[in-house]
Structure 1
Amino acid sequence: MTWRWLIGWLVIGIAALALRLYRLGDQSLWLDEGNSWAMAMQPWTVLLIDLIRPNAAYPLYHVILKGWMSLAGASEWALRFPSAIAGALSVPLLALAARRAVGDSPQRDAVTIAAALIGVCSPFAIWYAQEAKVYALVLLVSTAILWLTLRAVHEQRAQVWYWLIGLTVLALFIHRLTALLALSAGLVWLFSRPRRYTIPIAGGLLLIGLGMIGAMAAGIGSDRAASGASIAADPLTALWLTITRFSLDRWPGDFEWFWLVPWLLLFGLGLIGFARLPQSSRLVIGVMGSVPLVLFGVQLLFTRLYEARYLMIVFPIWLITLAIGVGHTNWRRALAWLMLTGVLTTSALALTQPRFGLFSGDPVKEQYREAIGELMRRVHPDDAVVVHPGYLRPLYDYYASRLSSDPAPQPISFANFWTGETSYTQREWDVERRAALTGYTRSWLLIAPDHARTVDPPRPGDEYGLVGNFWAFSREQRTWPCGIWRFQGVHLFCQEAPEAYITGEIVQPATPGNAVFGEQLTFLGYTLKATTPAGPGIYRAGGNIPLSLFWDVTQPLGEDYSLFIHLCRDCEQPPVASDDGQPLAGYLPTSTWLPGKPARDDRTVHLPPDLEPGHYQLLIGWYRPTDPTPDGRLPVRGEGALSAGRLWLTTIEVIAGEE
């Protein structure tokens, strides 16, 4: 191998790694990535036992991830880094496999370069290289198996076959679906050395393959029905969806139709070029591409549950076929290179496409980090937190501990509705909900609608099922809504006093107040809640100051005022932390308050993680939203009244946040 090629392989590897590391930690973990973290957090004994459990789909990945986490931590970037490395390593291997497939063809260099370029820029490959899941590793081992199989058939050396056997055994621990590649490699070996009993043995292997795909289909069906990640598709529809996913990592309708044209034309040229490959290469690519695809199509006849990532084992065949399309001669060469340019251009467009592109800057994964971050900036220690469906729990555990210095409330979850043989009904849900929420004055719902509807189906015209609707229609439950925040794939609801107000109990402030803002707005007092063992009044940097404010009016107000809460050390300077807005996030405007009907407003002041320890003053005040300057503030009189419409509540102590 010349220095030119060594430098070329180095450039390919660096380019592939750079793209896979770009913005690696920008997106929130989504559901399956949270499950990867939860699995890797299990004891070593559990993970090692999983290696020999037939129903563990990819046990070796969790062992690798746990070992890596012990060295690098568990940030989003660290969790995804092994996938980025595996994805980058698969690109040079892909180029080597393409080079081996065309043999001594004059276009060998062109095919090698084309395979490398397509592999480097592939949106489908980059997506899974930036995901804390096993599929980038599946791509790496599938490409390696393909390359070794091509070598074994071309060279007919026993040593290469032994390496191939060892790799296929290892691959079974990486993902059970690679058993289809092992089956394909066995068929290649049979047909590369035809014997008297080749056909019967091949038939037996295919029957074994049908048995494997049946077992896998049962596992896929139970797992994906729970999470709702699969879509229903027959084999022909699945084939079309696979083409669009393998090409642009998009579903039909999510891109301009003409973006797919260069991919289809180049693939067509590759199929034409397939006939010109050496016979041994045609055998390998034909068998290893068609057998897993056909067997996967068979399971679709029964389950209809389709996921493009389950076909990662044949993705290298797709890329090599595209690269072969570039290796034509004469008049087709210009067309092939034009199509390759189109493939690379549309790859860049797909990666940067607004709303969908991984490099667009838009959220394209479920935003659990943002939703749970909003929750942890607002939650009180005695609030109820409901996660729905219950299998969102790993994401809650992962982010709640990272986004606040305060202990997170233990989440509540409910059973699934009408799934399998169960008949969890609305009556049972009502009883369980009342029992779960009794005693709480405020509750939160963290819900992933796409996942929730698989276990709690909405009625026609509804956005949510029973659980989501209880919080979405708070007023109909005789409670107060206190906010809704919508993020990509996950929503957050707040509901005030779901039980105390229904029973008629009026919660009193722990510290009574005696002040009046303007002429009608009476401050009744406040309650500071504890977030540390030291009790109320001492809070951690990076945590919250949970505050409940109690109000009444002497007569109805004609305006909607906003409340500010300032935390300051030198209160003539801007506050070091604050909270600002209308009561209950705008759902209980002051113009709706009635005399003799006290209003309670639960607020939270989130403390910066780097806030210097010490003593700080807590001030409140009201102002007209049309004039947020001190001139627009309501004057205050009474105990604790300060200048500029501010009322002093108390002095609190901030301590360093926990490491």
Structure 2
Amino acid sequence: MGEGRRRHPWLLWAIILLAFALRVYHLDFQSLWRDEVDALRFATRPLAQLLDTFTKPGENGPLFFLLLRPWLQVFGQSETALRFPSVLWGTLSVPLTWVLARRLLRFGATATAHAGAAGVSTLAMLLTATSPYLVWYSQEGKMYALVVALALGSVLALLWALTAAAAGVRLRWLVYIALTSLGFYLHVMFVLLLPVHAVLFALGWPSTRRHWRGALLALASFVLPYLPLVWWQWRLFTSPTFDPGFSPVSLPRMFAILLVAFGRGMRGVPTIGLVSVWVFLLLAALLLAGGKPGSWRRPVIILAAWLLVPPLLLFVITLRVPLFNDRYLIYLGPAFYLLSAVGAYLVAQRSRALAAGALLLALSLNLVGVGGQAVTPIKADFRTAAAFVQAQRGPTDVLIFLHPYSRFTFAYYAGWDYAWREAPFTNDRQRVSLDSTGAVLTRLVQGADHVWLIESEAETWDRRAFNRQWLDAHGEPVVTHAVTGVRVTRWALR
């Protein structure tokens, strides 16, 4: 990997091993949540149905499910088996961050800046390895860890192509096209990285001018094969009935959510004030990049574009349909930590003590975040809830699921050997009342003596709690149990 590896190979390998250890530790601590169970369901459905999703509007991540399918066939469908590929992809992102940082920081920087590239790259690698946000999604059975690895590989392949000699340029452009195209089928928001690639190409001018044919070929490869898919997605996007279920988010709040996510992870502690150290490091990189010693201006602008352009484009999209979720932009993580590492290095040129203090606080935030996630239940705990119901329910009990979609997660732990019903939807205020809800429930529980209500994300289906009100009025609650994200209650009906 270059001079830095020859000097301190043990340090790089130690960081990689640390990344793997953090990602594999307590891998099955959190219960599976609905998206992970969906990954199992989608990956194991008939192959013809799975392949059809590559051309259906509204489908997201069909490539991930196709890749997951043979893995599950070999290693089974346990929580650990489902999540372990994410561990591997998340760990791979750490050395990829090091390689990309070395190449990107030398892209147009001065010789003096080159001297600091090894240290900045190693620091970015360490911040990425200990990131609580990236560790979290490296422990989830979804595509997000792979999205980060593929985003790194895509940018690295572009840099590789732009620095190619004439003999090897075609192969390098084909690698770039292949990796980027795979990203489109891994997550729909991957396409928002293309403007960042365009910024990189533009900032390399005039040296990148000789590669304009390869760039045009790549652009054509990204556009022409996907025109039918774009048309289908556009029809879905502009449909008056399309509702993805997200709430509108302002642009400042969008950036604040992303800062909190990358700055302290999923647990929500420590306080937001301490997270401002990341703002300090990011601003230091942006403000000091053009000063002496050395010029880091070009790589810093590329990283800033990587960090800012995708959220801006997503915000424009959300003006039509709310679609923001922080994990959809998880591939901003490498830019966040690499830009922070640059900021720490540039601050250190002026005050080593200040840079050391900022880095110590940033690393402490990372490790506290990772440690808290590893021992704190955060996802809806269907594992415990299902075990409780299975131990308490009678053979003739009826289970009602509220939200109904949670039945799949419950069934992962409890199977389907029981009578179950979907709770009636009550959030339509114009056409649904307590009486109409009661009429539906009367039919659903006819002949049952005992009924369970399995509640998770209930407010999205029954904000006024009509289901619970009717059960309280027509039965006696005999047992209730609440865990993280799930409440189960058993009624004896009168």
Could you tell me how far apart the structure 1 residues matched to 2:450 and 2:199 are? Answer: 63
Q: What is residue 274 of structure 2 aligned with on the other side?
A: 259
Distance 1:217 1:284, change over 3 A: farther
Could you tell me how far apart the structure 2 residues matched to 1:126 and 1:218 are? Answer: 36
Q: What is residue 30 of structure 2 aligned with on the other side?
A: 27
Question: 1:217 Cα shift?
Answer: 6.5
Letter of the 1:255 counterpart: P
Distance 1:76 1:489, change over 3 A: same
Say if 1:381 and 1:408, in contact at 8 Å, map to a contact too.
no
Distance 1:147 1:258, change over 3 A: same
Structure 1 residue corresponding to 2:369, chosen from 350, 364, 376: 350
Q: Deviations over 1:401-459 (max 9, x none)?
A: 3xxxxx62032003423459x944444322221111011111111111xx22122222x
Q: What is residue 265 of structure 2 aligned with on the other side?
A: 249
Letter of the 2:13 counterpart: L
The share of aligned pairs that are identical, in percent, is 24
Say if 1:269 and 1:336, in contact at 8 Å, map to a contact too.
no
Structure 2 residue corresponding to 1:378, chosen from 389, 392, 415: 392
Q: Deviations over 1:559-595 (max 9, x none)?
A: xxxxxxxxxxxxxxxxxxxxxxxxxxxxxxxxxxxxx
Say if 1:384 and 1:443, in contact at 8 Å, map to a contact too.
yes
5+ residue gaps, structure 1: 402-406, 459-464, 502-659
Distance 1:117 1:231, change over 3 A: farther
Q: What is residue 288 of structure 1 aligned with on the other side?
A: 306
Could you tell me how far apart the structure 2 residues matched to 1:214 and 1:282 are? Answer: 34
What secondary structure sits across from 2:454 in the alignment? Answer: strand
Distance 1:284 1:161, change over 3 A: farther
Letter of the 2:482 counterpart: R
Q: Deviations over 1:83-121 (max 9, x none)?
A: 111111111111211222221521112101111110111
Could you tell me how far apart the structure 2 residues matched to 1:336 and 1:214 are? Answer: 47
Q: What is residue 178 of structure 1 aligned with on the other side?
A: 190
Q: What is residue 271 of structure 1 aligned with on the other side?
A: 286
Question: 1:481 Cα shift?
Answer: 1.1
Structure 2 residue corresponding to 1:79, chosen from 60, 63, 82: 82
Could you tell me how far apart the structure 2 residues matched to 1:151 and 1:277 are? Answer: 22
Q: What is residue 470 of structure 1 aligned with on the other side?
A: 470
Could you tell me how far apart the structure 2 residues matched to 1:54 and 1:163 are? Answer: 27
Say if 2:480 and 2:487, in contact at 8 Å, map to a contact too.
yes
What secondary structure sits across from 2:395 in the alignment? Answer: coil
Q: What is residue 167 of structure 1 aligned with on the other side?
A: 179
Query: Relative to total residues, which structure has the larger strand share, 1 or 2?
Result: 1
What secondary structure sits across from 2:329 in the alignment? Answer: helix
Question: 1:274 Cα shift?
Answer: 4.0
Structure whose CA Rg is larger: 1
5+ residue gaps, structure 2: none
Structure 2 residue corresponding to 1:142, chosen from 151, 154, 162: 151
Residue 106 in structure 1 maps to residue 115 in structure 2: yes
Alignment of 1:402-551 (within 5 A): 408-418=417-427, 423-448=431-456, 451-458=457-464, 465-471=465-471, 474=472, 476-477=473-474, 479-496=475-492, 498=493, 501=494
Distance 1:277 1:30, change over 3 A: farther
Moved more, 112-121 or 277-286: 277-286
What secondary structure sits across from 1:132 in the alignment? Answer: coil
Residue 339 in structure 1 maps to residue 348 in structure 2: no
Say if 2:385 and 2:486, in contact at 8 Å, map to a contact too.
yes
Could you tell me how far apart the structure 2 residues matched to 1:216 and 1:190 are? Answer: 33
Say if 2:199 and 2:305, in contact at 8 Å, map to a contact too.
yes
Say if 1:153 and 1:280, in contact at 8 Å, map to a contact too.
no
With normalisation by structure 2, the TM-score equals 0.85
Letter of the 2:458 counterpart: A
Could you tell me how far apart the structure 2 residues matched to 1:44 and 1:99 are? Answer: 41
Letter of the 1:185 counterpart: H
What secondary structure sits across from 1:412 in the alignment? Answer: strand
Could you tell me how far apart the structure 1 residues matched to 2:301 and 2:286 are? Answer: 14
Distance 1:29 1:175, change over 3 A: same
What secondary structure sits across from 1:140 in the alignment? Answer: helix
Say if 1:86 and 1:140, in contact at 8 Å, map to a contact too.
yes
With normalisation by structure 1, the TM-score equals 0.64
Say if 1:87 and 1:125, in contact at 8 Å, map to a contact too.
yes
Residue 330 in structure 1 maps to residue 333 in structure 2: no
Distance 1:92 1:366, change over 3 A: same
Say if 1:101 and 1:277, in contact at 8 Å, map to a contact too.
no
Q: Deviations over 1:345-381 (max 9, x none)?
A: 11122233xxxx212x231111111111100111122
Question: 1:135 Cα shift?
Answer: 0.9
Question: 1:400 Cα shift?
Answer: 0.5
Q: What is residue 127 of structure 1 aligned with on the other side?
A: 136
What secondary structure sits across from 1:331 in the alignment? Answer: coil
Could you tell me how far apart the structure 1 residues matched to 2:37 and 2:125 are? Answer: 32
What secondary structure sits across from 2:488 in the alignment? Answer: strand
Could you tell me how far apart the structure 1 residues matched to 2:321 and 2:480 are? Answer: 37
Distance 1:365 1:33, change over 3 A: same
Say if 2:39 and 2:142, in contact at 8 Å, map to a contact too.
yes
Say if 1:388 and 1:452, in contact at 8 Å, map to a contact too.
yes
Say if 1:33 and 1:132, in contact at 8 Å, map to a contact too.
yes
Question: 1:30 Cα shift?
Answer: 1.5
Say if 1:154 and 1:280, in contact at 8 Å, map to a contact too.
no
What secondary structure sits across from 2:422 in the alignment? Answer: coil
Query: Relative to total residues, which structure has the larger helix share, 1 or 2?
Result: 2
Determine which structure has greater relative contact order: mean sequence separation of CA pairs < 8 Å that are 6+ residues apart, divided by chain length.
2
Could you tell me how far apart the structure 1 residues matched to 2:485 and 2:403 are? Answer: 13
Moved more, 178-187 or 164-173: 178-187
Distance 1:62 1:218, change over 3 A: farther
Q: What is residue 256 of structure 2 aligned with on the other side?
A: 240
Q: How many residues align?
A: 463
Letter of the 2:27 counterpart: L
Residue 393 in structure 1 maps to residue 407 in structure 2: yes
Letter of the 1:237 counterpart: R
Distance 1:33 1:180, change over 3 A: same
What secondary structure sits across from 1:358 in the alignment? Answer: helix
Question: 1:19 Cα shift?
Answer: 0.6
Say if 2:266 and 2:373, in contact at 8 Å, map to a contact too.
no
Say if 1:149 and 1:284, in contact at 8 Å, map to a contact too.
no
RMSD (Å) for aligned C-alpha atoms: 3.2
Letter of the 1:456 counterpart: D
